[in-house]
């Protein structure tokens, strides 16, 4: 194993796997259900802090992670409830507030703040390859869940709400209930990413889950193509690794991800998935006359 993947490579795989979970979790809210969130990393933070504290309390990594997910999902439910009355731009502003609120609260809590962050919690003893396997397995499960939901009637209903929520009501959809379901699912999975993130390192800080991180995750979803599972996975892998490969991207994170977000929204609102789809369609149309001419001979 060591011959194939050095310690640095392992950290890259872990980072990408956690980014995939984060991006897919936001994709459930923003992609499937059409509800924008500019504060998604805050729920990752809730999961990170909650799981770490519960791990210290002796719950163990697995139970602490599950509890962290539940707590993140509960916070998601609360934020979702307060967001139900707002749409579009106002939802963006509300969720942006969540990003700052999270950091503000954590930094005001002496128990969580310490001096430079929160540290000294037990780590799971899976070894670096074992832990990499755990993150990969978790990412695979979240991917499978995404694919399943997309195919289920829940995904069908999310899609109807993203499409036109007034019409969804006319066909009997309890829009609020399904939006809350999307929020709880998405934020709960962000909590999973948070616990996995916290337990790969020895220290977490509120700024790890701040506004910049929320924008980063949103840019993964938008670049990949809002709602497209494959596109979002690819974008999450590439965009999470780029700053590790190219130092200057890490230095200008907000500029890079913010700029990317702006460019995609402006020029390719359906993301790379949409760009590729359009390119393929254009190619087919160009080839179609030739193909039919060939068939005629």
DSSP labels, 79-140: HHHHHTT--HHHHHHHHHHHHHHHHHHHHH-HHHHTTTSEE------SHHHHHHHHHHHHHH
Burial of 224 (0-12, 13-18, 19+ CB in 10 A): buried
| Closest approach of other proteins to the CB of residue 281, in Å | 14
Which of 34/243 has CB closer to other proteins?
34
| Closest approach of other proteins to the CB of residue 185, in Å | 9
| Closest approach of other proteins to the CB of residue 44, in Å | 23
Which of 164/251 has CB closer to other proteins?
164
Measured CA to CA, the distance from residue 251 to residue 242 in angstroms comes to 12
Asked if residue 180 lies in contact with residue 195, where contact means CB atoms within 8 angstroms, the answer is no
Q: Does residue 285 interact with other proteins by CB under 8 A?
A: no
Asked if residue 273 lies in contact with residue 224, where contact means CB atoms within 8 angstroms, the answer is yes
Site for other proteins in 122-181 (CB under 8 A): 148-149, 151-154, 156-157, 159-160, 162-164, 166-175, 177-178, 180-181
| Closest approach of other proteins to the CB of residue 25, in Å | 16
| Closest approach of other proteins to the CB of residue 38, in Å | 24
| Closest approach of other proteins to the CB of residue 184, in Å | 9
Which of 4/171 has CB closer to other proteins?
171
Which of 147/238 has CB closer to other proteins?
147
Measured CA to CA, the distance from residue 58 to residue 64 in angstroms comes to 9
| Closest approach of other proteins to the CB of residue 81, in Å | 14
Asked if residue 169 lies in contact with residue 19, where contact means CB atoms within 8 angstroms, the answer is no
CA dihedral 89, 90, 93, 98 (to 10 degrees): -130
Measured CA to CA, the distance from residue 216 to residue 261 in angstroms comes to 9
Which pair of tokens denotes residue 260? 């990317």
- Count of chain residues binding other proteins (CB under 8 A): 27
Which of 90/156 has CB closer to other proteins?
156
Measured CA to CA, the distance from residue 202 to residue 134 in angstroms comes to 17
Which of 68/227 has CB closer to other proteins?
227
Site string for other proteins, 198-237 (x = CB under 8 A): ----------------------------------------
Contacts of 210 (CB under 8 A, 6+ apart): 41, 99, 100, 102, 103
| Closest approach of other proteins to the CB of residue 149, in Å | 7
Site for other proteins in 43-82 (CB under 8 A): none
Which of 153/267 has CB closer to other proteins?
153
Chain positions contacting other proteins, by CB under 8 A: 148-149, 151-154, 156-157, 159-160, 162-164, 166-175, 177-178, 180-181
């Amino acid at each position: 194993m060591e011959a194939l993947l050095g310690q640095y490579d392992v950290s890259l795989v872990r980072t990408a796997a956690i980014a995939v979970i984060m991006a897919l979790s936001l994709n459930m809210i923003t992609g499937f259900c059409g509800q924008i969130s500019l504060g998604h990393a805050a729920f990752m933070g809730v999961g990170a802090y909650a799981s770490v504290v519960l791990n210290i309390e002796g719950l163990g990594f697995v139970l602490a992670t599950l509890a962290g997910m539940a707590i993140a999902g509960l916070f998601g439910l609360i934020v979702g409830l307060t967001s139900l009355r707002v749409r579009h731009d106002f939802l963006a502003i509300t969720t942006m507030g969540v990003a700052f609120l999270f950091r503000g609260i954590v930094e005001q809590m002496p128990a969580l703040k310490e001096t430079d962050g929160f540290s000294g919690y037990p780590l799971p003893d899976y070894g670096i390859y074992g832990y990499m396997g755990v993150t990969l397995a978790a990412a695979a499960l979240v991917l499978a869940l995404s694919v399943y939901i997309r195919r289920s009637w829940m995904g069908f209903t999310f899609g109807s709400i993203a499409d036109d929520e007034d019409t969804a009501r006319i066909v009997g959809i309890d829009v609020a209930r399904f939006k809350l379901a999307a929020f709880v699912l998405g934020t709960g999975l962000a909590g999973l990413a948070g616990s996995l993130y916290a337990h790969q390192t020895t220290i977490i800080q509120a700024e790890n889950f701040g506004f910049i991180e929320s924008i980063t995750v949103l840019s993964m979803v938008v670049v990949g193509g809002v709602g497209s599972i494959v596109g979002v996975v690819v974008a999450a892998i590439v965009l999470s690794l780029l700053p590790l490969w190219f130092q200057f991207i890490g230095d200008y994170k907000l500029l890079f991800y913010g700029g990317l977000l702006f460019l995609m929204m402006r020029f390719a609102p359906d993301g790379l998935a949409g760009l590729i789809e359009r390119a393929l369609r254009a190619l087919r149309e160009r080839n179609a006359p030739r193909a039919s001419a060939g068939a005629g001979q």
